[in-house]
Structure 1
Amino acid sequence: MEEIKAKWVFEQGGFAKAVIAPTPMGAGYHLHLVKFGRNAETEVLERQRGGWRVFKTIDAGVNTAHTIGFRRIEVDLSSR
Protein backbone atom coordinates (compact mmCIF):
# COMPACT_ATOMS: atom_id res chain seq x y z
CA MET A 1 0.00 0.00 0.00
CA GLU A 2 1.36 3.39 -0.97
CA GLU A 3 1.65 6.29 1.47
CA ILE A 4 -1.21 8.30 -0.07
CA LYS A 5 -3.64 5.38 0.21
CA ALA A 6 -2.36 4.62 3.72
CA LYS A 7 -3.21 8.19 4.80
CA TRP A 8 -6.74 7.76 3.46
CA VAL A 9 -7.24 4.40 5.19
CA PHE A 10 -5.86 5.85 8.44
CA GLU A 11 -8.30 8.77 8.28
CA GLN A 12 -11.14 6.26 7.83
CA GLY A 13 -10.03 4.45 11.00
CA GLY A 14 -8.73 1.36 9.22
CA PHE A 15 -5.42 0.83 11.04
CA ALA A 16 -4.87 -0.36 14.59
CA LYS A 17 -1.13 0.38 14.79
CA ALA A 18 2.12 0.93 12.96
CA VAL A 19 5.12 -1.36 13.48
CA ILE A 20 8.66 -0.80 12.24
CA ALA A 21 10.59 -4.04 11.76
CA PRO A 22 13.92 -4.98 10.17
CA THR A 23 13.88 -6.22 6.58
CA PRO A 24 14.47 -9.94 6.07
CA MET A 25 18.01 -9.41 4.78
CA GLY A 26 18.82 -6.74 7.37
CA ALA A 27 19.34 -3.95 4.83
CA GLY A 28 16.97 -1.55 6.57
CA TYR A 29 13.45 -1.38 7.99
CA HIS A 30 9.87 -1.86 6.75
CA LEU A 31 6.81 -0.01 7.99
CA HIS A 32 4.00 -2.50 8.70
CA LEU A 33 0.48 -1.09 9.00
CA VAL A 34 -1.77 -3.39 11.03
CA LYS A 35 -5.47 -3.29 10.19
CA PHE A 36 -8.32 -3.56 12.69
CA GLY A 37 -10.21 -6.82 12.90
CA ARG A 38 -9.86 -10.41 13.99
CA ASN A 39 -7.30 -11.25 11.34
CA ALA A 40 -5.18 -8.15 12.06
CA GLU A 41 -3.87 -8.22 8.50
CA THR A 42 -0.63 -6.37 7.89
CA GLU A 43 0.15 -4.11 4.96
CA VAL A 44 3.74 -3.15 4.20
CA LEU A 45 4.26 0.36 2.88
CA GLU A 46 5.18 0.27 -0.82
CA ARG A 47 7.07 2.53 -3.19
CA GLN A 48 5.25 4.34 -6.00
CA ARG A 49 7.13 2.33 -8.60
CA GLY A 50 6.43 -1.01 -6.95
CA GLY A 51 8.13 -3.07 -4.30
CA TRP A 52 8.29 -2.58 -0.59
CA ARG A 53 9.67 0.65 0.75
CA VAL A 54 12.90 0.19 2.73
CA PHE A 55 13.95 2.79 5.28
CA LYS A 56 17.64 3.11 6.14
CA THR A 57 16.95 4.21 9.71
CA ILE A 58 14.23 3.71 12.29
CA ASP A 59 13.79 7.50 12.44
CA ALA A 60 12.90 7.63 8.74
CA GLY A 61 10.20 5.00 9.25
CA VAL A 62 8.86 6.81 12.31
CA ASN A 63 8.68 10.12 10.39
CA THR A 64 6.69 8.48 7.59
CA ALA A 65 4.31 6.80 10.06
CA HIS A 66 3.83 10.17 11.75
CA THR A 67 3.11 11.78 8.37
CA ILE A 68 0.43 9.15 7.75
CA GLY A 69 -1.13 10.15 11.08
CA PHE A 70 0.09 7.69 13.70
CA ARG A 71 0.99 9.11 17.11
CA ARG A 72 2.16 5.80 18.63
CA ILE A 73 4.58 3.63 16.68
CA GLU A 74 6.04 0.28 17.73
CA VAL A 75 9.57 -0.87 16.90
CA ASP A 76 9.99 -4.65 16.75
CA LEU A 77 13.62 -5.79 16.77
CA SER A 78 12.87 -9.42 17.71
CA SER A 79 13.87 -10.75 14.27
CA ARG A 80 17.42 -9.37 14.46
Structure 2
Amino acid sequence: LAAVADIGALTVTCLSGCLVPLFVLPHWVSDVAKFSPGYWASRGFQAAVTGDHAVYDKALAITLAVSLLVLGIAAIRAPRAVR
Protein backbone atom coordinates (compact mmCIF):
# COMPACT_ATOMS: atom_id res chain seq x y z
CA LEU A 1 0.00 0.00 0.00
CA ALA A 2 2.87 2.38 0.77
CA ALA A 3 4.39 1.75 -2.65
CA VAL A 4 1.10 2.61 -4.35
CA ALA A 5 0.88 5.84 -2.34
CA ASP A 6 4.46 6.73 -3.28
CA ILE A 7 3.85 6.08 -6.97
CA GLY A 8 0.64 8.13 -6.84
CA ALA A 9 2.36 11.02 -5.08
CA LEU A 10 5.23 10.97 -7.56
CA THR A 11 2.81 10.93 -10.50
CA VAL A 12 0.84 13.88 -9.14
CA THR A 13 4.07 15.77 -8.44
CA CYS A 14 5.35 15.17 -11.96
CA LEU A 15 2.03 16.24 -13.49
CA SER A 16 1.93 19.41 -11.38
CA GLY A 17 5.11 20.81 -12.89
CA CYS A 18 7.08 20.68 -9.65
CA LEU A 19 9.69 18.17 -10.84
CA VAL A 20 9.59 18.79 -14.58
CA PRO A 21 8.79 22.20 -16.10
CA LEU A 22 5.39 22.22 -17.78
CA PHE A 23 6.75 23.64 -21.03
CA VAL A 24 8.76 20.43 -21.50
CA LEU A 25 5.70 18.20 -21.11
CA PRO A 26 2.82 17.77 -23.60
CA HIS A 27 0.23 20.57 -23.70
CA TRP A 28 -2.51 18.48 -22.07
CA VAL A 29 -0.39 18.18 -18.92
CA SER A 30 -0.62 21.93 -18.29
CA ASP A 31 -4.42 21.65 -18.35
CA VAL A 32 -4.36 18.72 -15.91
CA ALA A 33 -1.77 20.43 -13.69
CA LYS A 34 -4.21 23.17 -12.70
CA PHE A 35 -6.19 20.59 -10.72
CA SER A 36 -3.14 19.63 -8.65
CA PRO A 37 -2.40 21.27 -5.28
CA GLY A 38 1.32 21.01 -6.08
CA TYR A 39 0.85 23.24 -9.11
CA TRP A 40 -0.68 25.98 -7.00
CA ALA A 41 1.91 25.60 -4.25
CA SER A 42 4.66 25.96 -6.83
CA ARG A 43 2.96 28.94 -8.48
CA GLY A 44 2.50 30.56 -5.07
CA PHE A 45 6.16 30.10 -4.21
CA GLN A 46 7.25 31.58 -7.55
CA ALA A 47 4.85 34.50 -7.09
CA ALA A 48 6.15 35.16 -3.57
CA VAL A 49 9.71 35.30 -4.88
CA THR A 50 8.86 37.55 -7.84
CA GLY A 51 6.42 39.74 -5.91
CA ASP A 52 3.36 38.98 -8.07
CA HIS A 53 0.68 39.57 -5.44
CA ALA A 54 -2.32 38.66 -7.61
CA VAL A 55 -0.98 35.21 -8.47
CA TYR A 56 0.22 34.71 -4.89
CA ASP A 57 -3.21 35.53 -3.45
CA LYS A 58 -4.96 33.16 -5.89
CA ALA A 59 -2.47 30.35 -5.20
CA LEU A 60 -2.77 30.87 -1.45
CA ALA A 61 -6.57 30.79 -1.57
CA ILE A 62 -6.65 27.61 -3.65
CA THR A 63 -4.02 25.88 -1.50
CA LEU A 64 -5.89 26.78 1.70
CA ALA A 65 -9.21 25.63 0.22
CA VAL A 66 -7.75 22.26 -0.77
CA SER A 67 -6.14 21.91 2.67
CA LEU A 68 -9.41 22.62 4.45
CA LEU A 69 -11.27 20.20 2.18
CA VAL A 70 -8.79 17.40 2.88
CA LEU A 71 -8.83 18.22 6.61
CA GLY A 72 -12.63 17.96 6.60
CA ILE A 73 -12.54 14.62 4.81
CA ALA A 74 -9.93 13.32 7.25
CA ALA A 75 -11.95 14.50 10.25
CA ILE A 76 -15.02 12.66 8.97
CA ARG A 77 -13.15 9.47 8.09
CA ALA A 78 -10.84 9.31 11.14
CA PRO A 79 -13.45 8.15 13.66
CA ARG A 80 -14.48 5.36 11.26
CA ALA A 81 -10.89 4.22 10.83
CA VAL A 82 -10.39 3.90 14.60
CA ARG A 83 -13.28 1.45 15.01
Task: Kindly indicate which of the two structures has a greater share of residues assigned to strand.
Answer: 1
How does the TM-score come out when normalised to structure 2?
0.25
Task: Kindly indicate which of the two structures has a greater share of residues assigned to helix.
Answer: 2
Greater relative CO, 1 or 2 (CA 8 Å, sep 6+): 1
